[in-house]
């Protein structure tokens, strides 16, 4: 249960968030100056004038009373919708966002957000909506391998590369975080509504907020900050993917880039990043090696019959029954019995008619 002081601070953060003329950067400056949002709301006009950008003209426009009422309403709406509200500096708010100069004063979260430390075990995967079949295939393979290495995949729920990364991550049993350019209760694009239910959704926008171009630009910084590194699969020279990479560098994160076909406009962005020193990336192993993560620790397995060991050894990547039948040499009844036992033991799972190791 949250303390009374935490609840007061969250209310104060939302009050500042809903106060016209105060953006994330100014709110962060107020928090730093006064030691918290609640203290900032209690500051005098003379003290507030010391905050960069808060002159007499802007201070005269501050309508804090209206913002307080809106904050109360938003807290009630979030509670009714089952949405978590995480305030800057309060328990649950991702420490990783502290790398930003303008961290969101509050986050709306649908689902249980992982505990992101200062350098999180998470990777952002971004790219163009109009991705090539090769890029989509590579994205799916990379995201699935990262998920099996206990790495969260962060992306923006857009069509193309984002969608492929999210789908492959959750299908492999991993955690995937969708950072939205709309509220967590307004899914965009609509065709990703079903996928969104399988993700952890994060937004800096109040409930009911629809998508907008400047929202998508702003969400790039959150993807970058929540991730230890960002992979750019495909993207033109002027694209959101490159903006995300820029934010990643500003946050002290690693930038990875996937080489593409010469003269393909979609490869122009990654190629520029590679010329500027990004890590050339073709597989999840390239990422794990660069960050020194290695593979996820494997718990000791119980003594298993030879048939089950053979099946687990064959599950290096998701495989169909026919694939496993050919790889293991087991008869189909033997194979199905072994898979059923491994599934009950929590060592294997079936997703979309493909079996994978857990």
| pLDDT given at position 141 | 95
Helices (H), 118-197: 133-148, 161-171, 193-196
* pLDDT confidence tier of residue 295, bands split at 50, 70 and 90: low
Q: Is the pLDDT of residue 63 over 80?
A: no
pLDDT in tens, 112-133: 888 888 889 999 999 999 999 9
CATH, domain 306-357, list 1.10.10.10, 3.40.1800.10, 3.90.180.10, 1.10.420.10: 1.10.10.10
Helix axes 321-328, 332-344, angle to 10 degrees: 110
Give the range among 181-185, 301-305, 320-324 with minimum mean pLDDT.
301-305
CA dihedral angle for residue 214, residue 216, residue 222, residue 226, rounded to 10 degrees: -170
Tell me, yes or no, if the two domains 4-110 and 306-357 fold the same way: no
* pLDDT confidence tier of residue 296, bands split at 50, 70 and 90: very low
Q: What rounded mean pLDDT belongs to the chain?
A: 90
Domain positions in the chain are 4-110, 122-291, 306-357
Bridge partners for 154 per DSSP: 124, 177
Q: Give CA–CA dist 118/312, Å, rounded.
A: 35
| pLDDT given at position 207 | 98
Q: Is 14 helix (H, G, I), strand (E, B) or coil?
A: helix
* pLDDT confidence tier of residue 297, bands split at 50, 70 and 90: very low
Q: Is the pLDDT of residue 38 over 80?
A: yes
pLDDT in tens, 85-99: 999 999 999 999 999
Q: Does the domain at residues 122-291 carry the CATH identifier 3.40.920.10?
A: no
State the pTM of this model: 0.80
Q: Is the pLDDT of residue 72 over 50?
A: yes
Helix axes 321-328, 306-314, angle to 10 degrees: 120
Q: Is the pLDDT of residue 314 over 90?
A: no
Which two structure tokens, joined as six digits, stand for 345? Answer: 């033991």
Q: Give CA–CA dist 240/171, Å, rounded.
A: 26
| pLDDT given at position 61 | 62
Pairing between β-strand 200-203 and β-strand 176-179 as defined by DSSP bridges = parallel
Token pair 């890029």 is at which residue? 135
Q: What percentage of the chain exceeds 70 in pLDDT?
A: 95
84-87 β-sheet, strand order: 84-87, 106-110, 200-203, 176-179, 152-155, 122-126, 229-232, 254-257, 279-280
Give, in order, the Cα–Cα distances in Å from 306 to each of 179, 199, 335. Answer: 44, 36, 11
Fold entry, domain 4-110? Rossmann fold (3.40.50)
Q: Is the pLDDT of residue 331 over 70?
A: yes
**Is 121:150 a contact under the CB 8 Å cutoff?**
yes
Q: Is the pLDDT of residue 288 over 90?
A: yes
């Amino acid at each position: 249960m949250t303390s009374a002081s935490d609840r007061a601070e969250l209310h104060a953060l939302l009050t500042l968030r809903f106060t016209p003329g105060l953006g994330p950067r100014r709110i962060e400056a107020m928090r730093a100056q006064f030691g918290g949002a609640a203290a900032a709301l209690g500051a005098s006009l003379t003290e507030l004038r010391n905050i960069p950008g808060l002159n007499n003209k802007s201070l005269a426009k501050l309508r804090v009373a209206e913002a307080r009422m809106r904050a109360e309403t938003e807290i009630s709406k979030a509670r009714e919708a089952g949405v978590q509200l995480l305030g800057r500096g309060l328990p649950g708010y991702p420490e990783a966002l502290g790398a930003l100069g303008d961290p969101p004063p509050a986050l709306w979260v649908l689902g249980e957000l992982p505990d992101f430390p200062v350098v999180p075990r998470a990777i952002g995967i971004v790219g163009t909506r109009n991705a090539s079949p090769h890029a989509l295939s590579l994205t799916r393979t990379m995201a699935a391998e990262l998920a099996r290495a206990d790495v969260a995949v962060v992306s923006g729920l857009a069509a193309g590369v984002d969608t492929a990364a999210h789908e492959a991550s959750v299908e492999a049993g991993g955690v995937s975080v969708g950072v939205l350019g709309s509220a967590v209760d307004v899914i965009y694009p609509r065709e990703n509504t079903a996928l969104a239910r399988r993700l952890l959704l994060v937004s800096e926008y109040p409930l009911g907020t629809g998508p907008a171009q400047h929202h998508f630009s702003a969400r790039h910084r959150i993807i970058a900050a929540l991730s230890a590194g960002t992979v750019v699969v495909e993207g033109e020279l002027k694209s959101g993917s490159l903006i995300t990479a820029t934010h990643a560098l500003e946050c002290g994160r690693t930038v990875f880039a996937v080489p593409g076909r010469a003269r393909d406009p979609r490869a122009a962005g990654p190629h520029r990043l590679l010329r500027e020193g990004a890590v050339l990336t073709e597989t999840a192993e390239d990422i794990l090696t660069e960050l020194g993560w290695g593979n996820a620790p494997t718990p000791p397995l119980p003594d298993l019959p030879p048939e089950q060991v053979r099946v687990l050894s064959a599950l290096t990547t998701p495989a169909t029954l026919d694939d496993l039948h050919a790889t293991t040499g087991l008869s189909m009844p033997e194979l199905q019995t072994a898979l059923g036992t491994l599934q009950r033991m929590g060592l294997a799972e079936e997703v979309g008619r493909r079996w994978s190791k857990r």
